[in-house]
Amino acid sequence: MIEPKVLKGFRDSLPQQEIVRQKLMAKIQQILRSFGFVPIDTPALEYTEVLLGKGGGETDKQMFRFTDNGGRDVAMRFDLTVPLARYVAANYSLLSFPFKRYHMSKVWRGEKPQKGRYREFWQCDFDMVGVDNAQSDFEILLLIHTCLSQMKVGSFRVCVSHRGLLNTFLVGLGIQDKSQDVLRAIDKLNKIGRDGVCEILKEDGLTEDQTAKVLDFISIDKTSFENTLSILEKMFGQSPEIVRLSQILTMMKACGIEKDFCLDTSITRGLDYYTGIVYETLLLDMPQIGSICSGGRYNNLAGLYTKENLPGVGSCIGLDRLIAALEELKSPIVTDSAYADVMVVSNKDDIAWSESVAMKLRAKGVNADSYVGEKGLGQQFAYAEKNGIPYVVSSQNGDVFSVKEIATRKVTDGLTIDQIAKLVKPEL
Amino acid sequence: MIEPKVLKGFRDSLPQQEIVRQKLMAKIQQILRSFGFVPIDTPALEYTEVLLGKGGGETDKQMFRFTDNGGRDVAMRFDLTVPLARYVAANYSLLSFPFKRYHMSKVWRGEKPQKGRYREFWQCDFDMVGVDNAQSDFEILLLIHTCLSQMKVGSFRVCVSHRGLLNTFLVGLGIQDKSQDVLRAIDKLNKIGRDGVCEILKEDGLTEDQTAKVLDFISIDKTSFENTLSILEKMFGQSPEIVRLSQILTMMKACGIEKDFCLDTSITRGLDYYTGIVYETLLLDMPQIGSICSGGRYNNLAGLYTKENLPGVGSCIGLDRLIAALEELKSPIVTDSAYADVMVVSNKDDIAWSESVAMKLRAKGVNADSYVGEKGLGQQFAYAEKNGIPYVVSSQNGDVFSVKEIATRKVTDGLTIDQIAKLVKPEL
């Protein structure tokens, strides 16, 4: 006997979990498609050289990397961003730009497994490649706004900043050579607090005065995007970053969504490759969940693979966090975890009865699970209940049926197929 | 510069290809859900021991197998059947039986790449575990019938047989010890013809007489399921296999689908693990496509991992073949490869115009791609055409718009948002 275990950091997805994940991903896909974004797919396995780029360091150690039977140095992808860069370079002549793509797939990282961290997990990325302007920046923000609104996660704020402003600010302080260290320290603000950031900045070699100025900069009032922008405009004048943010504000106002955005100079996103706007989301009633949707502009993503200049802007939805938020809200998306509308009981005296009744219900648009086991009625009802199927159909006589609602135990007799369809799917 | 190449036998999926695949999989999922089947997921990477079982041989050589950073012997899954067996054993107490599950995911095999064969490909499996009766056998057949009917692949035949009949027949000939060889030879009938099978059987050590009898057996008239069944009934009496097939026929008749089925004693499916009914599909107008949907009953799948007796029956849809058939038929599923209904042009004089118009269209249920680039109108129309977007919306003045249909070049002026929605999505 072989023990049927899974690897550390890997998971089986049970039906109730998988239904929730698929419903959420379908909802996100529907929104992305309504914006004209198109899906792509890339291999799970790539040449290590392609995935690593100039890389090394942490990513390298975390990769599932091996030599295949043909002697090639290969690895499983650890994100969907590097494969996107490789993909647009490889398929440049076949794509039309601006290229709006989404990619929802698994990635693998050999990290130390811990609460909420797995070695195999889903990523939902959407990016726009080939253009660097305010409209593309804004469209990603509008998409994030649409996703959060339609998911009904309560009130939220999308917090935006611009890497260029912080860079200019650090140049002014004469510490541009420390910019990577500073932005990584600031990125930790929510985790370690103001004092923690202060300590790291000092360790990084900033003077007391520089540290105080950086802390002042990231604490600029953020109650309204427009107010913060006018404060920053006084500091930076009509710089390209300020012009870009003003244009984005104009579009937010035209779409009537500006109140859900703030300009927050403490947002940096740790990663090196961002070059323009960066953003995170905040659920106002559940700040502990963290950012569900983050991203930014990177203007030299595919530079490793092509001489074409391919600026991009994009974002990534944190599926696990989104599910955590919806669970906290007891959202119907996570509580109603069944696709079947009814279960049809089996009938010992007429082996074809159950399948033919279920077939008639399906023809009316009802999802009908026909019970195929050989247990008594009690266990059949238990099956429906365990699977979250809301109604059970049983025989009465001829063309009329009994329908029991599992939640209330209420039985309605004498229903025709049409009447059952109307009862269990009133929206049809 | 790093060459942005993919590994041999692996593929990038371009948007047009990926949209077709996602549409097909959504359609199949919708049918499976209407039958009460639930989705699951399993890790891409498992312990090699778990995937190999007692195995070895061909499968072993084809696996992407390696030692991970923790020193574990691991491999990427090569099918979805072995993971299903491991999954039901591992999660036995959490599942409800009969367990009807589907699983659509990628698998990896280090086969020699050749036309139509890849090292990474999708499988769409659906199985019912925990019950061995005629109703479960029939329900899988009904599902296959529903899929083929709804995909509109033209007339088809589902060809069914029962492993037990062939086994009994071989026992009668005194060659039960050669049954694996014989069924594998018969499985090649469509590829190598009657003479080819004849030759292999002789090589396997069958006498001239035995070979002739086997060939007669697999040539029994198959014009109607019912006729063939009565011929077999005369040969085998009321054996359990005949009773099972009769019950299945009763259910086919109750559902009015018996004319699309035949009983074909030449169907064996090569694999060792089948123990009951087996089936393949045949597209009558495109026989060269091969079987789109095959499978059968296996009554000891999880025996390697658990002492629980878990009989199963299931099937697998060949996505690549299904796409080939739909392409031959020029089916709308493969020809209309865009999710966007309209593209809204950009407007240099009003940067917020395009995004706000697209937003209003989306609110009406229209999928609207807002052009975010900075090219002239000609190139914007070319973008819509290349992406298969059927309509382009441009400004007229105020709240009315011009709409151009790309296919006909016809322009309609003076339309409101509501009128555009009605024009491009009359079904709303």
Q: Please, which contacts does B387-390 make with residues 24 or more away whose CB atoms are closer than 8 Å? A: B387/A36, B387/A38, B387/A96, B387/B15, B387/B338, B387/B340, B387/B343, B388/B16, B388/B336, B388/B337, B388/B338, B389/A36, B389/B338, B389/B340, B389/B341, B389/B342, B389/B343, B390/B338, B390/B341, B390/B342, B390/B424
pLDDT tens figures, B330-383: 998 888 878 999 999 998 889 899 999 999 999 999 999 999 999 999 999 999
pLDDT at B23: 94
Cβ pair A47:B139 closer than 8 A: no
Taking CB atoms and an 8 Å limit, are A251 and B356 in contact across chains?
Answer: yes
Q: Among candidates B163, B151, B170, B120, which has minimal Cα distance to B299?
A: B163
Taking only residues 134 to 193 of chain A, the set having a beta carbon closer than 8 angstroms to any beta carbon of chain B reads 134-136, 138-139, 142, 146
Pairwise CA distance, residues A21 & A323, whole Å? 8
Taking the C-alpha atoms of residue A198 and residue A221, their distance in angstroms, rounded to an integer, is 19
**pLDDT given for residue A56 in this prediction:** 57
Q: Is A109 touching B (CB cutoff 8 A)?
A: no
Per-residue pLDDT tens over the stretch B377-417? 999 999 999 999 999 999 878 789 999 999 999 999 999 99
CA dist B85 and B51 (Å) reads 10
Distance CA A341, CA A420 (A): 10
The reply to whether domains B15-333 and B339-424 share a CATH topology is no
Residue B272 predicted with pLDDT over 70: yes
What are the residue ranges of helices labelled H in A53-188? 57-62, 81-90, 134-151, 163-173, 179-187
pLDDT at A347: 87
Chain A residues inside the 8 Å CB shell of B35? 358, 362, 367-370
Nearest chain A alpha carbon to B22:
A39
Touching check for A398 and chain B: CB below 8 Å?
A: no
CA distance A113 to chain B (A): 12
pLDDT at B269: 86
Residue A63: pLDDT over 60: yes
Counting every residue written for chain A, the total comes to 428
For chain A, what percent of residues have pLDDT higher than 90? 84
Interatomic CA distance for residues B257 and B240, integer angstroms: 23
B417 in A contact zone (CB under 8 Å): no
CATH code at B339-424: 3.40.50.800
Q: Which of A255, A338, A340 is the closest to B359 by Cβ?
A: A255
**How deeply is B284 buried, as exposed, middle or buried, from its count of CB atoms within 10 A (0-12, 13-18, 19+)?**
exposed
**Are B139 and A383 inside 8 Å of each other by CB?**
no
Cβ separation of A369 and B100 shorter than 8 Å?
yes
| Averaged confidence pLDDT in chain B | 93
Average pLDDT estimate for A366-370: 96
pLDDT value of position B58: 66
Delimit the domains of chain B by residue range.
Answer: 15-333, 339-424
Place of tokens 């103001």: A194
Of the candidates A67, A101, A387, the beta carbon closest to that of B15 is on A101
pLDDT at res. A57: 62
pLDDT score, position B332: 87
Q: What is the pLDDT of residues B203-260, one digit of tens each?
A: 999 999 999 999 999 999 999 999 999 999 999 999 999 999 999 999 999 999 999 9
Q: Which CATH architecture has domain B15-333?
A: 2-Layer Sandwich (3.30)
Is residue B55 scored above 70 in pLDDT? no
pLDDT at A107: 96
| Nearest-CB residue to A370 (from B53, B139, B373) | B139
- Percent of chain A having pLDDT more than 70? 99
With cut-offs at 50, 70 and 90, classify the pLDDT of residue A54: low
The region that residue B3 occupies, defined by phi over 0 for left and psi between -120 and 50 for alpha, beta otherwise, is beta
How high does pLDDT run on average in chain A?
93
- In this structure, are residues A268 and A186 in contact, taking their beta carbons and an 8 Å threshold? yes
Using alpha carbons only, give the angle B379, A141, A293 rounded to the nearest 5 degrees.
Answer: 125
Q: Which two tokens stand for residue B366?
A: 């229209």
A282 pairs with which residues across the strands? Answer: A157
What does the pLDDT read at residue A101?
A: 97
Query: Of B2, B340, B359, which is closest to A305 when you measure between CB atoms?
Result: B2
Range of weakest confidence among A154-168, B144-158, B176-190: B176-190
Which A residues in the span 332-391 are in contact with B, Cβ-Cβ below 8 Å? 338-340, 343, 346, 351-356, 358-359, 362, 366-374, 383, 386-387, 389
Fold designation for A15-334: BirA Bifunctional Protein; domain 2 (3.30.930)
- Whether B52 and chain A come into contact, CB under 8 Å, resolves to no
Q: How many C-beta atoms lie closer than 10 Å to residue B266's C-beta?
A: 20
pLDDT confidence of residue A149: 96
The β-bridge partners of A348 are none
CB A132 within 8 A of CB A98: no
**Nearest chain B CA: its distance from A115 CA (Å):** 18
C-beta atoms of B305 and A1 within 8 A = yes
pLDDT of A314:
96
Task: Determine the Cα–Cα distance for residues A275 and A313; give it in Å rounded to an integer.
Answer: 10
DSSP letter for A260, please: G
What is the reported pLDDT for B347? 87
pLDDT reported for residue B335: 86
Query: From the list A4, A135, A340, which residue is nearest B89 (CB)?
Result: A4
Q: Quick check: pTM over 0.80?
A: yes
As a whole number of angstroms, the distance between CA A234 and CA A244 comes to: 15
Instruction: Report yes or no: A301 and A273 within 8 Å, Cβ to Cβ.
Output: yes
Instruction: Mean pLDDT check: name the lowest of A182-196, A244-258, B119-133.
Output: A182-196
The minimum CA-CA distance between A362 and chain B, rounded to whole Å, is 6
Cβ neighbours of B197 (radius 10 Å): 23
Mean pLDDT score, A336-362: 92
Cβ-defined contact of A96 to B386 (cutoff 8 Å)? yes
Chain A, nearest residue to B106 by Cα: A44
On the question of pLDDT at B113 being above 80, the answer is no
Which of B13, B74, B95 lies at the smallest CB-CB distance from A40? B13
Size of interface A-B (CB pairs under 8 A): 313
Distance CA B297, CA B281 (A): 16
Nearest neighbour of A72 by CB, restricted to B7, B46, B108: B7
- Is residue A396 predicted with pLDDT exceeding 90? no
Q: Are A390 and A424 in contact (CB under 8 A)?
A: yes
Q: How far is A380 from chain B (nearest CA, A)?
A: 10
Give the mean model confidence (pLDDT) for residues A48-61: 77
